[in-house]
Amino acid sequence: MKKYLFLILTLLFISNLRAQNNILDELNEVSKDEKIFEYPAFKAMKIGNLQSTKVAGKGELYLYVSHRFSSVKDGFETFFGLDNASTKIQLLYSLWDGVQLSASRESLKQTYASSVKLRLVKQSNVIPINLVLYGTANINAELDKDRVPGLQFSDRMSYALQLLASRRFSDKFSFLVAPSYVRQNLQDLNNVISPRYNQFVLGLGGRMKVSKRVSINMDYAYNFNRVANSVYQNPLTIGMNLETGGHVFQLLFSNAQSSNEPGFLSNAEGNWTNGNVFFGFNIVRVF
C-alpha cells in the first residue's frame, strides 16, 4: 500500500512541476513581447539652445528662466558681459500625455512666443529612437512703424518647425538630430544681402554624463540657406547640466544670444573664432 501511495505522490509532484514549467515558459514568452521603454535621452527640455526630445509628463508644469548676457569679448568694460542681460521666462504645461504647450516672453527684441511639442515615438526595446515634433511661432514686439514704414502684423512673425530624433546609447551618452525649417517674414537687408525667408537647418546635439548629477552638453546647427558673407554664423553652444532634485541648472556659452528657435537658428550674431560669445544659464523648475 505504501508503494502505491508513494507512486501516486511522485506522479502528482511531477505533474505539478511540469505545470509550473509551462507557466514559466508562457510568462517568458509574454515578457519577450512586452515593450520596455528606455529612460529619457535628455534630462532637460533643451540640450543647450537646441530642443531635446524630453516632453513634460501629463499634468506637469515647468518654469524655465533663461539669462543670456552680452559678449564676453567686451572684457572688463561690461564685466565680461554680466552688466547686460537678456531674460526669457517660459511656462510649459502638458494637458495630455505626450503633448506639451508653452508660452514665453524674451526681452531680446521683446519677443513673445508660443510652442507645441508632440511625442511621436518613444525609445524602447522594440523601437530604437525617440521622435518628437516641435513647432513655435514668435512675435517681435520691438518693431515699430517709425523704423519700418508700412509695417504689417505679419511682418512681426517668425516660425520654426523641427523633427527631433534622439537615441539614448548608454547610461552616459545620448545624441540628437534635428532637421528644421525656419520662416522669417521680415529681414534686415542691412545685415542680409538678399532675403532668405525660408531656411532649412540641420541641428545636432549630444549629452555626456560625467557624474551622477553632472553632464556636458553640446549642440550645433548648420543653416543651408545662409547667404555668402552673411554677418550671422551657425550657432554652436557648449554647456553643463547640474541636476539638483526638482531643479536642472544649465550653464552655457554660445555664439547666439537669443534662445528662441528662429533667433538662434538664423541670427547667431557671435563668432567663436574671435571670442565673441555669450555666457548664459537656464534654471528649470518642475511643479
More confident position, 62 or 148: 62
Closest residue by Cα to residue 111 from 139, 144, 153:
139
User: pLDDT tens digit string along 218-275?
Assistant: 999 999 988 877 888 999 999 999 987 667 889 999 999 999 999 999 989 999 999 8
Place of cell 534654471: 283
Tell me the residue range of the domain where 198 lies: 38-286
CB 162 within 8 A of CB 51: yes
Q: How many domains does the chain have?
A: 2
- 136 in the same domain as 44: yes
- 110 in the same domain as 96: yes
Give yes or no for residue 25 having a pLDDT over 50.
Answer: yes
Report pLDDT for 6.
44
- 20 in the same domain as 139: no
CB 156 within 8 A of CB 139: yes
**Residues pairing with 223 in the sheet:** 201
- 46 in the same domain as 16: no
- 9 in the same domain as 76: no
- 147 in the same domain as 30: no
**Residues pairing with 159 in the sheet:** 137, 183
Report pLDDT for 155.
87
Report pLDDT for 26.
55
What letter represents residue 66's amino acid? Answer: S
Q: Residue 38 and residue 41: Cα distance in Å, rounded?
A: 8
User: pLDDT tens digit string along 108-158?
Assistant: 889 999 999 999 999 988 889 999 999 999 999 988 877 777 788 888 999
Confidence of residue 9 (pLDDT cuts 50, 70, 90): very low
- 98 in the same domain as 84: yes
- Does the global pTM surpass 0.85? no
Tell me the CATH number at 191: 2.40.160.40
- 200 in the same domain as 119: yes
- 90 in the same domain as 1: no
Closest residue by Cα to residue 277 from 135, 118, 128, 75:
75
Q: Locate 134 and state its grid cell.
A: 516641435
Place of cell 505626450: 98
Place of cell 555626456: 208
- 108 in the same domain as 25: no
Give yes or no for residue 88 having a pLDDT over 80.
Answer: yes
User: pLDDT tens digit string along 270-280?
Assistant: 999 998 999 99
- 14 in the same domain as 113: no
Confidence of residue 33 (pLDDT cuts 50, 70, 90): low
- 43 in the same domain as 136: yes
Q: Residue 58 and residue 56: Cα distance in Å, rounded?
A: 7
